[in-house]
């Protein structure tokens, strides 16, 4: 069935409608496919085709998790959609085993995701945007959801479902990102974004006299990778990093700075919020490499060239540091995962809150008596961090969704009556 055949009839009914088709949704498709009784599921993706990463990867960069935390292994090690099954299909299983690394290359893991996604092309409708979700009531209680969808031509149609899953919106931090908004236009500085650096990094690595000083401005996960890549080039001069991320700051006990750290509550009384994630996760190995290479650079140049990290939240304090660099590599803000403005306007009055079931899954809780028990909503989050990692429980949690949806579909009287008719016909 092609995309143009999607809307044969208005108000087509599905057991589950998923917004998007990223890693979490692919894992849902796999779990449903491997269910004893697969449900009628459709995935609506706004993008014209499958894509995962938000930007290019550095060569040889790897995932932060081991290969077993893929889309299926922790739920079903015998699945045909495990990472090892992908390697076997690509005739690279032995080579991967001989590499003695548990973490897949990111570029290869993205190909694995695409390999899985291609198996469900009939269930995915690319170029379709969900514009609103409308509760459908019977006897004053919401029994299903009407999902209004806009296709690539601008036409809108309505689908119906009892279960609805959508990506968890990215947390909207309204705090000013002063380091990203630095005024770096004056002087001789050449400003490039992280993505532009990845595309033209070789132009910076040639020999120069005097050596080229580089500044890196950013606090995200990609910052440490950029620093590590710059330190592999012996032709560069001083490398200065301006960041808000304290995990990038080296030991300073022996330095001249005597400013005491800000007081913090003991973690015994502080529970981590599900909305707050560390700026850098599982990067201790990478940071060790960064400081190891920085030390080698300083020793080899007899102290003439070094890595300097400036921790600052005030753009005015970093102007002088930036002015000394010939090239500035600046982080750019990432887009939110899903624009939900207006999407749930007619649902908001029903919502009581969200139940955090795991790292990757939240279930929307409704006010008592407003929504039927078998009418559900979930928020999925793969925590892919621009293609660096994947939530370790994604396979298990999407398997739970598949089981709940299957149980709901099997309890539907209309579904049971249709199945009974099919059995009678088969016996006749």
pLDDT tens sequence across 265-303: 443 333 344 444 444 544 567 788 888 888 998 999 998
* Distance (Å, whole) CA 307 – CA 249: 11
Contacts of 118 (CB under 8 A, 6+ apart): 50
The two tokens of residue 83 are 């990472």
Question: Which of 183, 185, 195, 250 shows the shortest CA–CA distance to 220?
Answer: 195
The two tokens of residue 300 are 């080899």
Most confident of 28-32, 299-303, 390-394: 28-32
Q: Among the listed ranges 162-166, 236-240, 316-320, which one has the minimum average pLDDT value? A: 316-320
- The mean pLDDT of the chain is 79
Question: Which of 239, 255, 214 shows the shortest CA–CA distance to 301?
Answer: 239
Taking residue 137's Cβ as centre, other Cβ atoms within 10 Å add up to 13
What is the average per-residue pLDDT within 146-153?
Answer: 93
The two tokens of residue 272 are 């981590």
Q: What pLDDT is stored for residue 387 in this prediction?
A: 62
Task: Provide the phi-psi class of 202: left if phi over 0, else alpha when psi is between -120 and 50, else beta.
Answer: alpha
Q: What is the phi/psi pair of residue 359, to 5°?
A: -60, -35
**Percentage of the chain exceeding pLDDT 70:** 73
In the chain, what are the domains? 7-170+335-416 (3.50.50.60), 173-251+280-333 (3.50.50)
Reported as a single tens digit per residue, the pLDDT across 358-371 is: 888 999 999 999 99
Taking a C-beta distance cutoff of 8 angstroms, is the pair 427, 37 a contact? Answer: no
Question: Which of 282, 279, 284 shows the shortest CA–CA distance to 221?
Answer: 279
CA distances from 197 to 55, 78, 216, 387 (A): 11, 41, 11, 17
Taking a C-beta distance cutoff of 8 angstroms, is the pair 101, 20 a contact? Answer: no
Taking a C-beta distance cutoff of 8 angstroms, is the pair 398, 380 a contact? Answer: yes
Contacts of 311 (CB under 8 A, 6+ apart): 243, 244, 246, 248, 249
Taking a C-beta distance cutoff of 8 angstroms, is the pair 315, 323 a contact? Answer: no
Question: Which of 126, 122, 127, 136 shows the shortest CA–CA distance to 164?
Answer: 136
**Is the pLDDT confidence value at 5 over 50?**
no
H/E segment holding residue 378: strand 376-380
Confidence of residue 189 (pLDDT cuts 50, 70, 90): low
State the first-to-last Cα distance of the chain, in angstroms, to the nearest integer. 31
Q: What pLDDT is stored for residue 266 in this prediction?
A: 40
pTM: 0.72
Confidence of residue 34 (pLDDT cuts 50, 70, 90): very high
């Amino acid at each position: 069935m092609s995309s143009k055949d999607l809307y044969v009839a208005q108000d087509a009914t599905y057991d589950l409608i998923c917004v998007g088709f990223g890693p979490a949704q692919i894992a849902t498709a796999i779990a449903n496919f491997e269910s004893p009784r697969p449900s009628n599921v459709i995935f609506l993706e706004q993008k014209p085709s499958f894509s995962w990463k938000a930007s290019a990867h550095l060569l040889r960069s790897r995932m932060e998790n081991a290969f077993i935390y893929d889309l299926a292994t922790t739920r079903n090690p015998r699945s045909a959609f495990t990472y090892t099954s992908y390697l076997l299909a690509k005739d690279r299983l032995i080579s991967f085993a001989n590499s003695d690394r548990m973490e897949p290359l990111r570029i290869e893991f993205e190909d694995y995701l695409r390999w899985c996604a291609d198996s469900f092309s009939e269930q995915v409708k690319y170029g379709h945007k969900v514009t609103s979700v409308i509760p459908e009531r019977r006897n004053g209680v919401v029994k299903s959801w009407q999902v209004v969808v806009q296709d690539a031509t601008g036409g809108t149609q309505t689908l119906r479902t009892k279960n609805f899953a959508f990506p968890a919106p990215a947390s909207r931090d309204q705090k000013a990102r002063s380091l990203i908004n630095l005024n770096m236009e004056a002087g001789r500085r050449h400003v490039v974004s992280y993505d532009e650096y990845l595309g033209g990094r070789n132009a910076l690595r040639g020999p120069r006299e005097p050596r080229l000083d580089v500044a890196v401005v950013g606090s995200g996960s990609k910052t440490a990778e950029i620093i590590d890549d710059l330190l592999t080039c012996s032709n560069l001069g001083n490398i200065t990093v301006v960041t808000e991320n304290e995990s990038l700051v080296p030991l300073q006990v022996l330095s001249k700075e005597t400013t005491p750290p800000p007081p913090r509550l003991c973690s015994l009384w502080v529970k981590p919020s599900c909305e707050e994630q560390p700026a850098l996760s599982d990067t201790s190995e990478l940071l060790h490499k960064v400081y190891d290479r920085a030390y080698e650079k300083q020793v080899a140049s007899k102290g003439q060239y070094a890595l300097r990290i400036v921790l600052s939240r005030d753009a005015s304090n970093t102007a002088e540091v930036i002015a000394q660099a010939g090239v500035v590599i600046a982080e750019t803000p990432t887009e939110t995962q899903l624009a939900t403005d207006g999407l749930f306007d007619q649902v908001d009055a029903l919502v009581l809150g969200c139940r955090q079931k795991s790292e990757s899954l939240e279930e929307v809780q409704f006010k008592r008596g407003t929504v039927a028990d078998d009418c559900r909503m979930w928020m999925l989050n793969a925590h892919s961090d621009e293609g660096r990692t994947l939530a370790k429980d994604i396979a298990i949690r999407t398997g739970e969704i598949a089981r709940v949806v299957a149980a709901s579909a099997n309890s539907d009287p209309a579904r049971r009556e249709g199945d009974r008719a099919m059995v009678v016909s088969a016996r006749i």
